[in-house]
């Protein structure tokens, strides 16, 4: 029984929301961040990069305190205003490729995360969890929702579509040419229906935002343990999420680039590959796989197709059937000696929105020795792995939509 509730969002004013909203901080280069802050005094980047005001790099808890100060200044200046009533927020994104995403921004329950009603499919790094927990505790707000997905629901879908017939409180286009729309639902009867529909769901899944979810859960545990009057309604019991139906979720693959052949010659490498794969040299013709357990490879100026010899590989779990895991278990670890997919600098990742020509260019530049392409996983695979309590390898999925910060803000 998922507990998904309305909340009083802090939002930018309609006139400047397009100037305030920002991509996640780490997605900008240093030059991009500075350019935006040089010419846009309303950018949320001024809040998360508070040292810019003093031309000084600030880190750790000192930075977090300054983030809180900048946030309070934005509120004092009327850039951010909090809604008076708890509401759900219908949020629509149309990206430059014409893909459309429709869902609801709401507060989701940390206890549901603890009780595995909100299910995970990725491992998290404890240090990052603790760091972001400290950040949330210090600044007192979260400006980027976790992306969750739920089974398609006709009632919720009808409410979303009906709400979208009304006047959007926000409608703006970012420089990446994706257009964002926001509507507010504060009618108590409609809120009750939405809440009831989510309560009938036994499971929802994290699509993107595993570290943010884990950090919010750690914050909840800390605050709960030190509050003798804890009753479960406090703001720290929840974290902000954007919930979209499974049919709206778009999953791309992450392709792999490797810097060397682990001391093997090209011929020795191909012979070792032959144990698990039927190999065909495609020459100069770009090849992209079209189904699971088939891979493309670019090596020494030529494309290859790799088809798994299924008789030599056992599928014991949903994870074993995931192509990212399959590539790791049959090639990256045993042949190329890559054990730590997260931290080994011999491997790099290219999201599948880029064509195989990107892999070719990277290998031809001599920065990398070999590249591998695969088909994307799907929602059902992701769910089965989560249901079995397993975790995908790092960079298994590149999931859309990608959200913007500071369109709605949740205060703790």
| pLDDT tens, position by position, 11-45 | 999 999 999 999 988 889 889 988 999 999 999 99
**In the predicted model, what is the mean pLDDT of residues 188-201?**
98
pLDDT at 185: 98
At 164, give phi and psi (nearest 5°). -70, -10
Q: Please tell me whether residues 268 and 175 are part of one structural domain.
A: no
pLDDT at 56: 86
**How many CB atoms sit inside 10 A of residue 356's CB?**
20
Q: From CA 142, how far away is CA 155, in angstroms rounded? A: 29
**How many CB atoms sit inside 10 A of residue 102's CB?**
21
pLDDT in tens, 66-123: 999 999 999 999 999 999 999 999 999 999 889 999 999 999 999 999 999 999 999 8
Report the CATH number that the domain containing residue 377 is assigned in CATH. 3.30.1760
Shortest CA distance to 363 belongs to which of 257, 236, 266, 263? 257
Distances (CA, A) of 177 to 28, 97, 117, 180, 294: 16, 9, 35, 10, 34
Q: Please tell me whether residues 353 and 225 are part of one structural domain.
A: no
Angle value at C-alpha 382, between 96 and 150, nearest 5 degrees: 70
Q: Please tell me whether residues 295 and 215 are part of one structural domain.
A: no
Q: With contact defined as beta carbons under 8 Å apart, do 180 and 404 qualify?
A: yes
Q: Is residue 354 over pLDDT 80?
A: no
Q: Please tell me whether residues 303 and 406 are part of one structural domain.
A: no
pLDDT at 54: 86
Q: Please tell me whether residues 130 and 148 are part of one structural domain.
A: yes
Q: Please tell me whether residues 192 and 260 are part of one structural domain.
A: no
Q: Give how many domains the chain has, as a whole number.
A: 2
pLDDT at 19: 96
pLDDT at 352: 84
Residue 190 binned pLDDT confidence (cut-offs 50, 70, 90): very high
Q: Please tell me whether residues 183 and 285 are part of one structural domain.
A: no
Q: Which domain holds residue 367?
A: 254-396
Q: b or e along 282-296 (b: 16 or more beta carbons within 10 Å of the residue's beta carbon)?
A: eeeeebbbeebbbbb
Three-class secondary structure assignment of 5-42: ECECCEEECHHHHHHHCECCHHHCCHHHHHHHHHHCCC
Q: What is the mean pLDDT of the chain?
A: 95
Distances (CA, A) of 60 to 34, 51, 97, 287: 20, 12, 38, 46
Residue 261 binned pLDDT confidence (cut-offs 50, 70, 90): very high
Q: Please tell me whether residues 204 and 266 are part of one structural domain.
A: no
The dihedral sign for the CA sequence 148, 154, 155, 158: positive
pLDDT in tens, 122-177: 988 899 999 999 999 999 999 999 999 999 999 999 999 999 999 999 999 998 88
Q: Please tell me whether residues 197 and 279 are part of one structural domain.
A: no
Shortest CA distance to 160 belongs to which of 107, 104, 205? 104
92, two tokens: 């629509």
Q: Please tell me whether residues 215 and 296 are part of one structural domain.
A: no
pLDDT at 176: 80
Contacts of 32 (CB under 8 A, 6+ apart): none
**How many CB atoms sit inside 10 A of residue 88's CB?**
28
pLDDT at 59: 87
Q: Please tell me whether residues 173 and 310 are part of one structural domain.
A: no
For the chain, the 3-state helix, strand and coil shares in percent, each to the nearest 5, are 35, 25, 35
pLDDT at 125: 87
Q: Please tell me whether residues 230 and 301 are part of one structural domain.
A: no
């Amino acid at each position: 029984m998922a507990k998904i509730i309305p909340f009083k969002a802090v939002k930018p004013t309609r006139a400047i929301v397009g100037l305030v909203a920002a991509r996640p901080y780490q997605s900008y280069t240093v030059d991009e961040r500075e350019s935006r802050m040089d010419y846009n005094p309303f950018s949320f980047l001024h809040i998360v990069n508070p040292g810019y005001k003093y031309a000084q790099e600030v880190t750790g808890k000192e930075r977090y305190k300054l983030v809180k100060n900048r946030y309070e200044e934005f509120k004092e200046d009327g850039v951010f205003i909090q809604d008076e009533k708890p509401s759900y927020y219908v949020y629509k994104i149309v990206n430059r490729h014409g893909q459309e995403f429709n869902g609801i921004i709401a507060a989701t329950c940390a206890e549901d995360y603890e009780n595995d009603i909100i299910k995970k499919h990725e491992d998290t790094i404890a240090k990052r969890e603790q760091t972001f927990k400290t950040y949330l505790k210090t600044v007192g707000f979260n400006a980027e929702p976790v992306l969750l997905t739920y089974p398609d629901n006709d009632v919720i879908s009808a409410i979303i579509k009906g709400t979208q017939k009304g006047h959007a409180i926000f409608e703006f286009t970012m420089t990446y040419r994706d257009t964002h729309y926001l509507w507010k639902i504060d009618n108590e009867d409609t809120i009750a229906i939405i809440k009831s529909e989510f309560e009938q769901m036994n499971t929802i899944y994290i699509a993107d935002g595993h570290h943010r979810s884990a950090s919010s859960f750690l914050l909840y545990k800390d605050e709960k343990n030190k509050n003798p009057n804890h009753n479960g309604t406090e703001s720290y019991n929840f974290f902000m999420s954007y919930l979209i139906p499974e049919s709206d979720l778009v999953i791309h693959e992450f392709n792999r680039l490797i810097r060397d052949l682990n001391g093997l010659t090209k011929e020795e490498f191909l012979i070792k590959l032959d144990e698990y794969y039927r190999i065909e040299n495609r020459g100069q013709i770009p090849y992209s796989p079209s189904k699971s357990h088939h891979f493309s490879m670019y090596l020494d100026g030529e494309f290859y197709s790799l088809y798994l010899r299924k008789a030599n590989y056992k599928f014991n779990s949903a994870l074993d059937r995931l192509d990212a895991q399959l590539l790791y278990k049959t090639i990256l670890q045993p042949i190329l000696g890559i054990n730590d997919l997260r931290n080994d600098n011999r491997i790099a990742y290219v999201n599948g929105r880029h064509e195989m020509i990107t892999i070719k260019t990277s290998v031809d530049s001599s920065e990398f020795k070999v590249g591998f392409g695969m088909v994307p996983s799907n929602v059902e695979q992701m769910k089965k792995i989560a249901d079995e309590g397993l975790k995908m390898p790092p960079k298994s999925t590149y999931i859309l939509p990608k959200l913007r910060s500071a369109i709605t803000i949740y205060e703790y």
